[in-house]
Structures are given as structure tokens and as C-alpha cells.
Amino acid sequence: MASSYDLAALTAELRHLRDTVPETHKLVAAVAEAGKRFAAGRDWLQDKHRQPHPKQGIGVHLLHEEPDHSLPIFVVAWAPGRGAPPHNHGAGNWAAIIGVEGAESNTWWRRLDDGSKPGYAEVEPVKTAVLGPDEAMTFLPNVLHSVDNEAGEVTVSLHIYATHLNHIPREQFDPQKKTVEPFTVAVD
């Protein structure tokens, strides 16, 4: 039997929250709770959502986005031993991430330089936490984090953002090379 809290119900709630909750920290917390309710049903999860992109190591599968690219909902499949480098989600872009299958390790980073030198950045790790099934993490705008799948199997998470990641400028960081560059991902 299909869950009564399906994709249509989730998107309706996300629209309502966006339009009625002006404080970003309260909005993203409420989005995370809505995402947890949706993710718990699992009847939306298809085999194709468990497939990482062979080259980038993560499969980014779009379930929904508004015509203006707001409120995108992705299912992300992380290949074993793969992840995403330290990155931001773009100016003003919050995120709610919900674990679905397996566990992913998230590390928060702090930028040490002032950002005035193009292409250059110094970042350092601040803390790490593991996201497991049915757990949620939220990211306010301008937060830097990285993701690693340290498990021996594909892990899956549900991601909800204010704006589609490839429709807002965002950056990835290389801590060893001390570089920063634009960051986009292939999306199915």
C-alpha cells in the first residue's frame, strides 16, 4: 500500500513552509521533518535511485523541482569509498539531508582566508558526524561540508534544497592544493 505522505504531499508542504516560515533556521528544520516523513515510506525509492554515476561516484536523481528551480528534491546514491569534496551550496541556499539506506559521514569545514584571492582558499575541518537511515541534518546558507561514504556498499540519502544546486553558483574546495573552483554535479 502506498504511503499517504507521497511526493505530491511533500511538495505541497514544502511550498507552504517556504511561503509561511520566514526564519531560515526554522524553515530548514521544518523541511527536514517533512523530508523524514516522506523518506520513511520508502515506496518512492526505485532501483535506479541506488545507482551512482559511474564517473562522479555519486548518482544525483531529481524527484522534483519547481519551474523556477526552487525546492528541488534529490535522491543521492553514494558509491563505496566516494563522496563530495568540501563545498558550499551557494549563497542563500539551505539544505535538509535525510538518511535513507546506509550511513554517510559529513564533515563541516571552516574557511580560514578572507576570500580575496581568486581561486585560492584555505579550509580546515571542524567536526564530523554520521548520518544514518531516518536521521536528518540541516545546513544553513554558507556552510561548508564534505561527504564520504566509508561503507562497503552504496548509501542513499534524500536531499531538499532552497534552490537546485546547478542553478546557483557554488564552490568546491581542495584543502591540500588550497584551491576553490565552481562546483556542479551531473543530475539524472
Distance of CA 164 to the CA centre of its chain: 10
Is a pLDDT exceeding 50 seen at residue 80?
A: yes
* Four-residue CA torsion sign, 8, 9, 10, 15: positive
Q: What is the pLDDT of residue 4?
A: 81
Instruction: Taking residues 127-152, report their average pLDDT.
Output: 96
Is a pLDDT exceeding 80 seen at residue 23?
A: yes
Quote the mean pLDDT of the chain. Answer: 96
Is a pLDDT exceeding 80 seen at residue 2?
A: no
Q: What is the pLDDT of residue 3?
A: 64
Q: Are 99 and 159 in contact (CB under 8 A)?
A: no
Is a pLDDT exceeding 70 seen at residue 29?
A: yes
82-135 per-position pLDDT tens digit: 999 999 999 899 999 999 999 999 999 999 999 999 999 999 999 999 999 999
Instruction: Taking residues 26-42, report their average pLDDT.
Output: 97
Q: Are 37 and 5 in contact (CB under 8 A)?
A: yes
Share of the chain above pLDDT 90, in %: 94
Q: Which of 184, 161, 17 is nearest to 95 (CA)?
A: 161
Q: Which of 35, 58, 59, 38 is nearest to 48 (CA)?
A: 59
